[in-house]
Structure 1
Amino acid sequence: MELSYMPTRRSAVQWAAQFAAGEIDVTDAIDQTLAAVEACDDPAIFTLTTPERAHAAARAASVRQRDGRSLGWLDGVPVAWKDLFDLSGHPTTAGSRLLTDAPPAIADAVIVTRLEAAGMVSIGRVNMTEFAFSGIGLNPHYGTPVNPHGQRRVPGGSSSGSGVAVARGLVPISIGTDTSGSVRIPAAFNGIVGYKTSGGRWPMQGAFPLSRTLDTLGVLCLSVLDAILVDAAARGLAAPDIRRESVRHLRVIVPTNVVFDECESAVVANFEAALKRLESAGAYVERRALPVLDEILALNAQYGPIVNAEAYALHRERVEGEAAARMDRRVASRMRLAAATPLSAYIAIMEARRRIVAETAAMLEEGWLVAYPTVAHVAPSIDELEADDDLFLRINMKTLRNTLLGNVLDWCGISIPNGADAQGMPTGFLLSGGPGRDDHLLASALAAEDIIRSEAA
């Protein structure tokens, strides 16, 4: 696919600056956004646009701007929603044709209400892996959004449309979910920022679930500052309460086990170069094995992943009935793998998770962060993965490996672009903090972002 239409990318902060300077009216900006979505040569990015809703919100924001009553940095800024957030009056389809005729939502998701209360303008919903069950981003029902950095490369999932919409400049902000990496993976593959919250930081009500134990929310955007602004609004704050920390106070653990296994050379080279720049700027880096990472993989192998068991429980009637024939075969077959998981195995892995979450939280209480490559490889070929289900399964497991560790441990995490390979495909630098350590993570990422990105494409 030739990417013939690429709007100029503007961050949320850049949108706000243009509104404040009177360079563009909010209504004109939203008209331009909707026109860009309509003109885009990739129809698989958006599954729904909401022009009437967007125009009404834009008019209200425009009046506030003219009257000097702006709600803040996000007032008038466009936002897109992963296709699993309730928008009043529309069915929530979660990337599946099975839910096309579902009753329309009677209320917005709580996160939608909060960001719109900060003035953000909802443009519509963007594509995703069916039922959010893959890190690759393929969707046979609505099409697969194409990674803008290379012909026919995957977008990453499950927040596939979110990653591509932001990377292509259609919107500066898209809100996704992250159960095993679904915000951070598309961020890394598309060369943008992806912030995943730790559990309970943002409200989950009105978001179609996959794994109630591991599901978290997050944002795909163009800068750490944008993520901080969205985080404040998502928590119902009038303004951010996070301040930049000094890189000289940054203490980083780099695991020597698991996360570099089978990593592509460009991924490792870009990570090490960014790490060296951080050290030169005064950050303290300690390399050591984290046995808990091996333990997570061993637990998954022994008992089956938590996400599989909970996804199967949620969708059992679908995947065991006639509806399975109308699902993505890759999603249905992987969900069915958990059918034989006994309750004792589920209880055992949940008990183990509680223990290792507590252990690693204690390890990170003193302000330590953990750093490693977001994904072990760059975005692979859409065509190759669509043609070979065995290859898809292997690559999907490899794609999810590094990020799923943080979900099991309830870490917050942020992926920052840190370069590209020889073909121009982006790589990501993942910085993670312990449960509830989001403020420290975001403050540290704000300080480190320019250093990590300094040689990024």
Structure 2
Amino acid sequence: MTAMNGRPNQSAVARLETALARIRLLEAKNVFTGVFADSARWEAEAADRRAAAGSPRGPLDGRIVSVKALFDVAGTVTSAGSAVLRRLPPAVEDAEVVKLLRAAGAIVIGKTQMTEFAFSALGTNPHDGTPGNPRDPLRAPGGSSSGAVVSVINGIADIAIGSDTGGSIRIPAALSGAVGFKPTSGFVPNVGAFSLSSSLDTIGPIGSNVADCFIADQVLSGQSTPSRLRSAPPGTFRLIVARGRLFDRCEPEVLDAFEDAIERLRSGGLRIEDGSIEASLDRVAGIDRIGTFPSIEVGATLRGLGLSSLDGVDPKTRVRIEAGAAILGTDYVRMVRLRKAAIQFFEQSFGNNEVSVLPTTPIRAPLLSSVEEDATFHEYNGLVLRNPRVANMLDCPSVSLPLPVDSLPIGLMLVGRRNSDRRLLEIASRIEAMLGPQPQGSPTRCRIGKASANASK
């Protein structure tokens, strides 16, 4: 429960103890790789003292936050979901984003599970275990920030901090039913975070609503005087439905939910028109024909950590890293130059008050049993990455909103103009309010119709 000012009614200590108890439940299996109970209790007590004195540090003070396992936390090993990194020495200091969270009064409860090296999008991890989708534990939660999204939906953390290189915040948000925000690169510091791709990595929040993501983003981006989120008035922006190849292979349930949402928004007075980003997608495809940045750049990260062999790495991950090792240095330089041109082209194609809108992923969460085979895994992994990764390649802010469906979650994705992060969140807040609340009830007991139960088999 929260008060009218957005701050929780319960004390931070009481809410933390409830969260720690939930971590011990079966539904939280494989969600955390480390729990910081002692330091979190100290932080909660300090937050309650500040609240009693009327001197909170801001809207994040006393809120419970989880952080992905690729962030340095002093005294712990940054395993990034990989068995081969467990041999590294513990971090000597917190990552920059963890420092910012603590300075803002957040209670850092623990590190959340992730896919190995953040290099896949379904949320599976053969080393530490895979957390089940909180809406249906037999299904994939989405990744790579898998434990992050489950920690929020299962009521353990108010906000989770993840990373997004090709959709790793927005994909789990879409498949599990949360809000996920990816900022423009450069606003949030990456220092102290394991790097999958130095070109594409971004850090952002997963939350239950846009307002919580806005609060977290302000802290992560180092804004010294946080402002209040104000929803964009309906007549001040325009939605462009990005018709074309990003709608290919969409499940009928995804298309139906998306079109229903668009009609509801249009009926509510929003300006919406069909459009195209195909020219920009052609430029991205031209880069992909040469190679992919994560496949190349994660190899450099691992070598920098002293790993000379990929022995012990999940074969599904290893094959992608080995593909990147075959790319010539001259071709990598071409990729960098082509991406710079693609970013400039896309940025000039629309304004701060125009937003592209499309399904976050073309499919809903697949059954975990259906992605055990390598061929099926790579097929579904590519499908869920296809739409979100465009915003990473073109360096745009992007947010995934859960659609109000009483079945497996479906995400609606907004892509804004580069550097228009705050404006995008204002627009997202308006859309969130117009779409209405999510179905209530226990996450693992949402009703799944026949079509949903058979999806992606």
Note if contact 1:15-1:77 (Cα within 8 Å) is conserved in structure 2. Answer: no
1:450 and 2:437 are equivalent in the alignment:
no
- 1:384-436 superposed Cα distances (whole Å, 9 cap, x missing partner): 212x1011111111110000001000010110001347xx2100000111111
TM alignment of 1:381-392, pairs within 5 A: 381-386=367-372, 388-392=373-377
Q: Which runs of 5+ in 2 are unaligned?
A: 441-457
Q: Kindly provide the amino acid, as one letter, of the partner of residue 125 in structure 1.
A: K
Pairing partner for 2:380 from 392, 395, 400: 395
TM alignment of 1:130-141, pairs within 5 A: 130-141=116-127
Which position in structure 1 is the counterpart of 2:8? 18
1:417 and 2:407 are equivalent in the alignment:
no
1:50 and 2:36 are equivalent in the alignment:
yes
CA RMSD of aligned residues (A): 2.1
The structure-2 alpha-carbon separation of the partners of 1:456 and 1:341, relative to structure 1 and needing over 3 Å to count, comes to farther
Shift of 1:373: 0.3
- 1:216-263 superposed Cα distances (whole Å, 9 cap, x missing partner): 011010000111111122233332254221122221111121210101
Which position in structure 2 is the counterpart of 1:240? 227
Note if contact 1:319-1:335 (Cα within 8 Å) is conserved in structure 2. Answer: no
**CA separation in 1, counterparts of 2:114 and 2:4?**
27
Which position in structure 1 is the counterpart of 2:411? 428
Note if contact 1:242-1:443 (Cα within 8 Å) is conserved in structure 2. Answer: yes
Note if contact 2:352-2:423 (Cα within 8 Å) is conserved in structure 1. Answer: no
Percent identity reads: 34
Which position in structure 2 is the counterpart of 1:309? 296
The structure-2 alpha-carbon separation of the partners of 1:91 and 1:14, relative to structure 1 and needing over 3 Å to count, comes to farther
TM-score (norm 2): 0.91
Note if contact 1:253-1:371 (Cα within 8 Å) is conserved in structure 2. Answer: yes
Which position in structure 2 is the counterpart of 1:282? 269
**CA separation in 2, counterparts of 1:420 and 1:95?**
32
- 1:350-389 superposed Cα distances (whole Å, 9 cap, x missing partner): 1111111111111223521110000010000111212x10
Shift of 1:202: 1.1
Which position in structure 1 is the counterpart of 2:338? 352
Note if contact 1:27-1:59 (Cα within 8 Å) is conserved in structure 2. Answer: yes
Note if contact 1:274-1:451 (Cα within 8 Å) is conserved in structure 2. Answer: no
The structure-2 alpha-carbon separation of the partners of 1:317 and 1:382, relative to structure 1 and needing over 3 Å to count, comes to farther
Shift of 1:301: 4.0
Q: Which secondary structure does the structure 2 equivalent of 1:57 belong to?
A: helix
**CA separation in 1, counterparts of 2:288 and 2:357?**
24
Note if contact 1:257-1:293 (Cα within 8 Å) is conserved in structure 2. Answer: no
The structure-2 alpha-carbon separation of the partners of 1:165 and 1:319, relative to structure 1 and needing over 3 Å to count, comes to same
Pairing partner for 1:441 from 415, 424, 434: 424
TM alignment of 1:119-198, pairs within 5 A: 119-198=105-184
Shift of 1:324: 2.5
Note if contact 1:275-1:452 (Cα within 8 Å) is conserved in structure 2. Answer: no
The structure-2 alpha-carbon separation of the partners of 1:162 and 1:51, relative to structure 1 and needing over 3 Å to count, comes to same
TM-score (norm 1): 0.91
Which position in structure 2 is the counterpart of 1:116? 102
Shift of 1:308: 1.7
Q: Give the aligned length.
A: 439
Pairing partner for 1:267 from 231, 234, 254: 254
Q: Which secondary structure does the structure 2 equivalent of 1:79 belong to?
A: strand
The structure-2 alpha-carbon separation of the partners of 1:160 and 1:14, relative to structure 1 and needing over 3 Å to count, comes to farther
**CA separation in 1, counterparts of 2:259 and 2:39?**
46
1:207 and 2:193 are equivalent in the alignment:
yes
Note if contact 1:224-1:446 (Cα within 8 Å) is conserved in structure 2. Answer: yes
Q: Which runs of 5+ in 1 are unaligned?
A: 1-9
The structure-2 alpha-carbon separation of the partners of 1:309 and 1:172, relative to structure 1 and needing over 3 Å to count, comes to same
**CA separation in 2, counterparts of 1:201 and 1:318?**
25
Note if contact 1:319-1:336 (Cα within 8 Å) is conserved in structure 2. Answer: no
Shift of 1:160: 0.6
1:291 and 2:278 are equivalent in the alignment:
yes
- 1:31-77 superposed Cα distances (whole Å, 9 cap, x missing partner): 22112112344420000000111011111111111122122222111
Q: Which stretch of the first structure deviates more once superposed, 362-371 or 197-206?
A: 362-371
Q: Kindly provide the amino acid, as one letter, of the partner of residue 340 in structure 1.
A: A
Q: Which secondary structure does the structure 2 equivalent of 1:166 belong to?
A: helix
Note if contact 2:284-2:339 (Cα within 8 Å) is conserved in structure 1. Answer: no
Pairing partner for 2:22 from 36, 58, 74: 36
1:257 and 2:244 are equivalent in the alignment:
yes
Which position in structure 1 is the counterpart of 2:389? 404
